[in-house]
Structure 1
Amino acid sequence: MSLPKLFMHVQDPLLASNLLSIQSVRQYELNISHQDKNWLDQLTAAQCDVALIEVNSLHDTALKELINSPALYQTEFLFFSQGGPDPILDKLMHKGAGFHYRAPFNLKLIGSSLEEIFCELNLTKELISTQTSYLDQFGLLVGSSSAMHSLYRTIRKVAVTKANAFIMGESGTGKELIANTLHVFSQRAEGPFVAINCGALSPELIDSELFGHVKGAFTGAHKDHQGVFEQAEGGTLFLDEVTEMPYEQQVKLLRVLESGEYKPVGAQQVKIANVRIIAATNRVLGDAIRDEVFREDLYFRLAQFPIMAPKLKDREGDACGLAQHFLAYRNNQDGQHKQLSAQSLEKISLYNWPGNVRELKHAIERAYILADHVIYPEHLVTNDLNDQIETDKSAGIPIGMRLDDIEKIAILKTLKKNDGNRTDTANQLGISVKTLYNKLDKYENTDFL
Structure 2
Amino acid sequence: MSKPRLFIHMRDPELAEKLLQSPVVRQFIIVKSSDSSAWSEQLQQQECDLAFIESDESDNDDYQRLLVSKVLTEIDFIFISSGTPNELLDKLMRRGAGYHFRAPLDLGSVIDTLQDFYQQLSTERKQVKATSSELDQFGLLVGSSKPMLKLYRTIRKVAVTEANVLIIGESGAGKELIANTLHLASLRANQPFVAINCGALSPELIDSELFGHIKGSFTGAHRDHQGVFSQAEGGTLFLDEITEMPIEQQVKLLRVLENGEFRPVGSEKTLTANVRIAAATNRDPMQAIAEDALREDLYFRLAQFPICVPPLRQRAEDIVGLAQHFLAYRNVQEQQTKKFSADAEALIANHGWPGNVRELKHAVERAYILADAIIEPDHLLLDEPLNCAESDGLCDAVPTGVRLDELEKAAILSTLAKNGGNKTDTAQQLGVSVKTLYNKLEKYQLDN
Residue 178 of structure 2 is matched in structure 1 by 178
1:313 maps to 313
Three-state SS of the structure 2 residue aligned to 1:357 is: helix
Q: CA deviation at 1:372?
A: 1.2
Residue of structure 2 equivalent to 1:406 = 407
Structure 1 outlier segments of 4+, above 4 Å: 383-395, 401-404
Matched, 1:294 2:323: no
Change (3 A) 1:337 1:407: farther
Give the superposition deviation at 1:383: 6.9
Deviation sequence 1:95-150 (CA, Å, 0-9, x none) = xxxxxxxxxxxxxxxxxxxxxxxxxxxxxxxxxxxxx9811110011111111111
Give the deviation of 1:316 after TM superposition: 2.4
Give SS of 2:278's match. Answer: strand
Aligned to 1:261: 261
* Alpha-carbon shift at residue 201 of structure 1 (Å): 1.6
1:194 alignment partner, SS class: strand
Larger Rg over CA atoms: 1
Greater Cα offset, 303-312 or 381-390: 381-390
Distance 1:133 1:320, change over 3 A: same
The equivalences for 1:161-240 within 5 A come to 161-240=161-240
Counterpart code for 2:229: F
CA distance in 2, matches of 1:191, 1:324: 32
Match of 1:343 in 2: 343
SS of residue in 2 equivalent to 1:317: helix
Q: Residues 27-426 of structure 1 correspond to what in structure 2 (within 5 A)?
A: 134-382=134-382, 396-397=397-398, 404-406=405-407
How far, CA to CA, are the matches of 1:389 and 1:261 in structure 2?
59
CA distance in structure 2 between the aligned counterparts of 1:403 and 1:284, rounded to whole angstroms: 39
For residue 408 of structure 1, report the CA deviation from its aligned partner.
8.8
Given the superposition, is the C-alpha separation of residues 283 and 407 from structure 1 closer, same or farther in structure 2, using an over 3 Å criterion?
A: closer
Aligned mates of 1:346, 1:141 — CA distance in 2: 23
Q: Percent identity?
A: 68
CA distance in structure 2 between the aligned counterparts of 1:367 and 1:142, rounded to whole angstroms: 21
Please state whether the residue corresponding to 1:313 is helix, strand or coil.
helix
Mapped partners of 2:389, 2:181: distance in 1: 38
Q: Which amino acid is 2:363 matched to?
A: A
Measure, in 2, the Cα distance between the counterparts of 1:380 and 1:390. 21
Could you say what secondary structure the match of 2:203 adopts? coil
- Per-residue deviation, residues 191-241 of structure 1 (Å, max 9, x unmatched): 000000011122211111100111121122111110000000000000000
State the TM-score, normalizing by the size of structure 2. 0.58
The 10-residue stretch of structure 1 (384-393 or 362-371) with the greater mean CA deviation from structure 2: 384-393
Q: Which amino acid aligns with 1:171?
A: S
SS of the residue aligned with 2:316?
coil
Secondary structure of 1:223 counterpart: coil
Q: Which runs of no fewer than 5 residues in structure 2 stay unpaired?
A: 1-131, 411-442, 444-448
Task: Give the corresponding residue for 1:117.
Answer: none
Aligned letter for 1:302?
L
Give the drift of 1:309. Answer: 1.1
Question: What displacement does 1:281 show?
Answer: 0.6
Cα distance in structure 1, aligned partners of 2:383 and 2:213: 43
Contact conserved, 1:175 with 1:280, CA < 8 A, in 2? Answer: yes
Q: Deviations over 1:313-366 (max 9, x none)?
A: 101211100110111111111111111011111111111100101111111111
Using the alignment, how far apart are the partners of 1:140 and 1:308 within structure 2? 17
Distance 1:318 1:335, change over 3 A: same
Compared CA separation, residues 393 and 338, structure 1 to 2 (3 A):
farther
How many residues are treated as equivalent by the alignment? 278
1:276-326 per-position Cα deviation (integer Å, ceiling 9, x unaligned): 000001112222111111111110000000001111110121110011011
Give the RMSD, CA atoms, in angstroms. 3.0
Letter in 1 for 2:164: N
Query: How many angstroms does 1:405 deviate by?
Result: 2.9
Amino acid at match of 2:189: A
Partners of 1:352 and 1:360 lie apart in 2 by 10
TM-score, scaled relative to structure 1: 0.58
Q: Structure 1 residues 404 and 311 mapped into 2: Cα distance closer, same or farther (>3 Å)?
A: farther
Are the structure 2 counterparts of residues 322 and 403 from structure 1 closer, same or farther at C-alpha, using a change threshold of 3 Å?
A: farther
Q: Distance in 2 between matches of 1:355 and 1:269?
A: 44
Pick closer, same or farther for the CA change 1:138–1:208 going to 2, 3 Å: same
State the alpha-carbon separation in 2 of the partners of residues 210 and 170 from structure 1: 25
Amino acid at match of 2:232: A
